[in-house]
Amino acid sequence: MSGLQRLNERQQRMLAILEQTGDVRVPDLKAQFGVTEMTIRRDLEKLEQTGKVKRTFGGAIMVTRDVAFSDRTGVRAAEKTRIGRCAAESIQPGDAVFLDGGTTTLQIVRHLPAEMRITVVTNAINLAAELMDKKIPTLVSGGMLLDTTSTLIGPVCVEALSKMAFDRIFLGTTGMTALHGFSNSNMYEAEIKRVAVSRAKEVNIVADRSKWGVQDLFSFAELSRADRLFTDAPEGEEDELRQALEEASVEWVVCD
């Protein structure tokens, strides 16, 4: 009998919710199903055993490995929109900015004023297209196209970025923990992020709360390498990580 076949009706419903929303929170599930928090946590543990779900502090997310950009666009869309708007407001005229690929960095572009006097460098072809429509000066890094994320990766991209200097960079992350820092599931994208961090005066991370407490395979920066985190995480979210961010002197901007 497979792991999915061993799920009871409540667990199957939870999995259906996860497949639709991308993440769940323990308090929400407790209220929806009318069971104890301990029962919910046992259910999430059972779901994790299927390989389709990963538990986080306070909830769970669907396991994502190079999930197609189109499949991620609708997950936590409202939160990403708020984070993107908040991050865009921190960009100043005259800045040289790097934006990597992702659904949250796309929202940054969508909240930039048309014809803003900045220079944007990106390795994401979909971001470049929207920047072109806004008539914002844009450099595309070059490299090999990773079709699932619409990003350019590989040695050509690394070489190009290593010769640039950025006032600010904005990077997405698929996970962040106190020990592993900021991480990504794709080794090539992690490499691009790592190079961008090394060339930046100011490092900004954009991440909704589903990334909190998640550890992916490839770390691209310690927490201390970030200057600012734009997030939707409420007060009290994952105390260990909160403390680690404070000790690393990372400014925490809650976008609401």
Tell me whether residue 225 is exposed, middle or buried, using C-beta atoms within 10 angstroms of its C-beta: 0 to 12, 13 to 18, 19 or more. Answer: middle
What pLDDT shows up at residue 234? 62
The candidate with the shortest Cα–Cα distance to 54, out of 250, 199, 217, is 217
| Calpha distance 2→135 (Å, rounded) | 53
| Calpha distance 11→141 (Å, rounded) | 45
End-to-end CA distance of the chain: 45
The answer to which of 54-68, 89-103, 159-173, 192-206 has the lowest mean pLDDT is: 54-68
| Calpha distance 117→210 (Å, rounded) | 33
Sign, CA torsion 181/23/48/3: negative
What pLDDT shows up at residue 68? 45
Residue 66 has pLDDT above 60, yes or no: no
Q: Hey, what's the torsion of the CAs at 201, 134, 193, 140, to 10 degrees?
A: -100
| Calpha distance 86→123 (Å, rounded) | 22
Condensed to tens digits (0 to 9), the pLDDT of residues 90-131 reads 999 999 999 999 999 999 999 999 999 999 999 999 999 999
Are residues 237 and 252 in contact, defined by beta-carbon separation less than 8 angstroms? no
| Calpha distance 151→109 (Å, rounded) | 15
| Calpha distance 121→183 (Å, rounded) | 21
Condensed to tens digits (0 to 9), the pLDDT of residues 182-228 reads 999 888 899 999 999 999 999 999 999 888 888 888 999 999 999 99
The candidate with the shortest Cα–Cα distance to 82, out of 110, 58, 102, is 110
Structure tokens at 30: 């407790």
Mean pLDDT of 151-165: 95
pTM of the model: 0.74
Domains of the chain listed by start with CATH number: 9-62 (1.10.10.10), 69-254 (3.40.50.1360)
What are the strands of the beta sheet with 53-56, ordered from one edge?
23-25, 59-62, 53-56
Q: Which residue has the higher pLDDT, 17 or 108?
A: 108
Sign, CA torsion 131/133/139/140: positive
